[in-house]
Amino acid sequence: MLAYIIRRIFVLIPTLLGVSILVFLMLHLTPGDPAELLMGERASEEALQEIREHLGLNKPLYEQYGLFLKQLMQGDLGETIWTRQKVWIEVKQRFPATIELSIVALFISCFAGMILGIISATKQYSIFDYLSMLGALVGVSMPIFWLGLVFMLIFALNLGWLPMSGRLTVGVELETITNLYILDAIITRNWAALRDALWHIIMPAVTLSTIPTAIVARMTRSAMLEVLRQDYIKTAKAKGLSQFIVIFKHALRNALIPVVTTIGLQFGVLLGGAILTETIFAWPGVGKWMYDAVMQRDYMVIRSGTLFIATIFVLINLCVDVLYAVINPRISVK
Amino acid sequence: MKSWNRFKNSYLLYSFKRDPVAILSFCVLSILVIISILAPVITPYNTYDSATFDIMDAETPPAWMEGGSKSFLLGTDIQGRDLLSTMIYGLRVSLLIGVGAVLFQALVGILVGLLSGYLGGKLDALLMRIADIQFSIPYLIVAIFTSAIFKLAFGVGRYAELAVPLLIIIIGMSEWPKYARTVRASVLGEKNKEYVEAARVIGISRWHIMYRHVLPNTLTPVLVISTIQVAEAVMSEAALSFLGLGMPITKPSLGSLIRAGFEYIFSGSWWITFFPGALLVIFILVILLLGDWLRDVLNPKLYKG
């Protein structure tokens, strides 16, 4: 088991190096002067010279990459182009917001997706099955930014039930420790802030969870159907066990293996979707930050954001693989 | 004629005729495709010609609402363009980019997969490593990153002019590994079969075997993923356009229409965002339904079991 984990970590290193090379080279592979790309066509010659000096764009490529890598190793993601702020500080502030949103969305999609999938599988070809699978298909075909807007239109603008955007209402006091507002509110026993934070997260989290919910539901259904057909389920039923125990204790555990992998893979969907969701709901996370960077043409932020999200994604995939090996010991033997 | 007869007796057509969902989605998809191809002929207004619309008509609500006008069935957008016509043109752009991007990624992916699977060795290791690396970043992030750099490199004006080919390349580049892996897997399965052995024994060249014998046998899974890939490419394009990295508002795709309407929902003009999005959902839904059906039919393991 340990050998498998170590082997997986070793595969990680060339992957991350590869990502860093790709991300680094993109600027240099595009035709034109990198300094001009960064500063825009109307930048003065002095400004161009200054940015070349500042970022070392005059040095040979391998030296630049070496420097870039060395900074990365020290956890330094460089500075933003326009405000010359440390990128790392910004990431540290914004990342908890993205994580909070993604975790709540993942939680919703696991819960809702698995329940839908289980009921559909046990009542195959019933009205409920057809409706929920149609719903799942519609969910997958829904562009989440559009769904978010429709939610906003209905629940915030027309009905006024939920707040439009942001993480907290202005004026609500909350002492931040982890920057995960829900967790902070629980730690400090600030129930008013907890209520407010939950109120704010519902719409973005539900929006973000649509596609994963649909995928988890479809996966759970097909995995459950496969398991329910097997002989040991028949045996369990013949023994006179209740439907509930057969489904949750006997069938679900074996059906979980493919579902866990699917759930792990959904994190990538969530991180990609976070940019869209955060943009709509003005959620101050890494995604919104990258969107703003795209608007302001801040290449350094776009690069760091991409690198950061890729790294997180790779690490999560590692965790999923390890978890998978724990659930299914046959994997690590191969 | 012979191939028509073969098609008429095929399992594909047989199962198509027995599946009402497949028939319905095929009809809807055909209608949408035909409408978008014929856009210049059937739309009441030419939305690319700024002389045909008037800013005074901006934000007219749909015809059945108060203040709506009979000449604009679904209302107008912020520039006073007829929304229905603009949507049809938008669908055309989305479709063009979606299909183009899938062709591009299939071309790159099939080539890489074929070379990688058939030749093996170091080339295989290198190509698959690159595919793995790209797979380790969510594809939307790859697309956003590439298009942001292209936008820097070309400047906003030229990017808008070249948006269609650029988006085809960007979306194509961010999704090719899927094809490469699929093709490689089936090439590895085919490579050791007897017919390949036989072809080699009678002295046919490697390239010839690869293209004439192995490639056709790997195309079924390619066909299956292609339907889903078109849906995904259209979605990616919409997402990029929504983030301001795609089609400009003068030649909008469905995504850029949603984006344009986004800022106006607060003033009550919900239709600018709502209808293009609904059209997008229907379009993607029918493609996915057809894709599901096709997968069930072409995957013999599923229909036997």
Contact B89, B62 (CB under 8 A): no
Q: Pick the closest to residue B105 from B20, B193, B172 (CA basis).
A: B172
Q: What are the backbone angles phi and psi of residue B26, rounded to the nearest 5°?
A: -65, -45
Q: How many CB pairs under 8 A join A and B?
A: 133
Chain A residues touching B277 at Cβ < 8 A:
143, 146, 149-150
Which residue has 């990688």 as its token pair?
Answer: B116
Task: For residue B147, name the pLDDT band (cuts at 50, 70, 90).
Answer: confident
Distance from CA of A210 to the nearest CA of B (A): 13
Domain B75-298, architecture per CATH: Orthogonal Bundle (1.10)
Chain B residues touching A150 at Cβ < 8 A:
274, 277
Residue A116's pLDDT is 92
Distance from CA of A175 to the nearest CA of B (A): 32
Nearest neighbour of A143 by CB, restricted to B132, B137, B239: B239
Q: What would the pLDDT profile of B192-208 be if each residue is shown by its tens digit?
A: 888 888 988 998 888 88
Residue A81's pLDDT is 74
Q: Pick the closest to residue B141 from A290, A55, A7, A133 (CA basis).
A: A290
Interface contact B280-A146, CB threshold 8 A: yes
Q: What would the pLDDT profile of A120-148 be if each residue is shown by its tens digit?
A: 988 888 888 888 888 888 888 888 888 88
Interface contact B152-A310, CB threshold 8 A: no
Average pLDDT, chain B: 82
- pLDDT of B305 strictly over 50: no
Q: What would the pLDDT profile of A211-253 be if each residue is shown by its tens digit?
A: 899 999 988 998 888 888 888 888 888 888 888 888 888 888 8
Chain B residues touching A303 at Cβ < 8 A:
145
Contact B58, B79 (CB under 8 A): yes
**CA–CA gap between residue A146 and residue B259 (Å, rounded):** 9
Instruction: Calculate the CA A255 to chain-centre distance.
Output: 24
Residue A137's pLDDT is 86
Residue B63's pLDDT is 67
Chain A residue closest to B151 (CA)?
A297
If you average pLDDT over residues B176-204, what whole number do you get?
A: 87
Residue B303's pLDDT is 40
pTM of the full structure: 0.84
Q: Pick the closest to residue B233 from A143, A9, A209, A92 (CA basis).
A: A143
Nearest neighbour of A141 by CB, restricted to B150, B261, B281: B281
What Rg do the C-alpha atoms of chain B give, in angstroms?
23
Contact B167, B246 (CB under 8 A): yes
Q: What would the pLDDT profile of A141-155 be if each residue is shown by its tens digit?
A: 888 888 888 888 888
Number of CB atoms found within 10 A of residue B208's CB: 11
Interface predicted TM-score (ipTM) over 0.95: no
- pLDDT of B10 strictly over 50: yes
What Rg do the C-alpha atoms of chain A give, in angstroms?
24
Chain A residue closest to B230 (CA)?
A141
- Tokens encoding B270: 């919900």
The structural domains of chain B, with segments of one domain joined by +, span 75-298
Chain B residues touching A302 at Cβ < 8 A:
144-145, 148-149
Q: Which long-range contacts (CB under 8 A, 24 or more apart) does A54-60 make?
A: none
Residue B302's pLDDT is 44
Q: Quick one: three-class SS letters along chain A? A: CHHHHHHHHHHHHHHHHHHHHHHHHHHHHCCCCHHHHHHCCCCCHHHHHHHHHHHCCCCCHHHHHHHHHHHHHCCCCCECCCCCCEHHHHHHHHHHHHHHHHHHHHHHHHHHHHHHHHHHHHCCCCHHHHHHHHHHHHHHCCCHHHHHHHHHHHHHHHCCCCCCCCCCCCCCCCCCCCCCHHHHHHHCCCHHHHHHHHHHHHHHHHHHHHHHHHHHHHHHHHHHHHHHCCHHHHHHHHCCCCHHHHHHHHHHHHHHHHHHHHHHHHHHHHHHHHHHHHHHHCCCCHHHHHHHHHHHCCHHHHHHHHHHHHHHHHHHHHHHHHHHHHHCCHHHHC
Q: Which residues of B21-39 are buried (b: 16+ CB within 10 A; e: fewer)?
A: ebeebbebbeebeebbeeb
Residue A332's pLDDT is 57
What is the percent of chain A where pLDDT is above 70? 97
Residue of A149, A307, A313 to mutate for B, most B C-beta atoms under 10 A? A149
Contact B269, B59 (CB under 8 A): yes
Contact A194, A185 (CB under 8 A): yes
Residue A18's pLDDT is 84
Residue A207's pLDDT is 92
Interface contact B288-A145, CB threshold 8 A: no
Higher pLDDT, B184 or B68: B184
- Tokens encoding A199: 């109120």
**CA–CA gap between residue B293 and residue B15 (Å, rounded):** 9
**Size of chain B, expressed as the number of residues it contains:** 305
Task: For residue A19, name the pLDDT band (cuts at 50, 70, 90).
Answer: confident
Interface contact A313-B137, CB threshold 8 A: yes
Terminal Cα-to-Cα distance of chain B (whole angstroms): 34
Q: What would the pLDDT profile of A270-313 be if each residue is shown by its tens digit?
A: 887 888 899 888 888 888 888 888 887 788 888 888 888 888 88
Report which residue type is found at B49.
D
Residue A331's pLDDT is 60
Q: What would the pLDDT profile of B128-140 be if each residue is shown by its tens digit?
A: 888 888 877 777 8
Q: What would the pLDDT profile of B51-79 be if each residue is shown by its tens digit?
A: 666 666 666 777 676 766 666 767 777 77
Contact B99, B167 (CB under 8 A): no
Contact B140, A275 (CB under 8 A): yes
Chain A residue closest to B232 (CA)?
A141
Distance from CA of A141 to the nearest CA of B (A): 5
Q: What would the pLDDT profile of A89-106 be if each residue is shown by its tens digit?
A: 888 888 888 888 998 999
CA angle A322, A324, A328 (to 5 degrees): 120
**Size of chain A, expressed as the number of residues it contains:** 334
Q: Pick the closest to residue A134 from B303, B25, B127 (CA basis).
A: B25
Q: What would the pLDDT profile of A161-185 be if each residue is shown by its tens digit?
A: 888 787 777 777 777 777 787 787 7
Contact B188, B113 (CB under 8 A): no
Most confident of A65-74, B126-135, B274-283, B293-302: B274-283
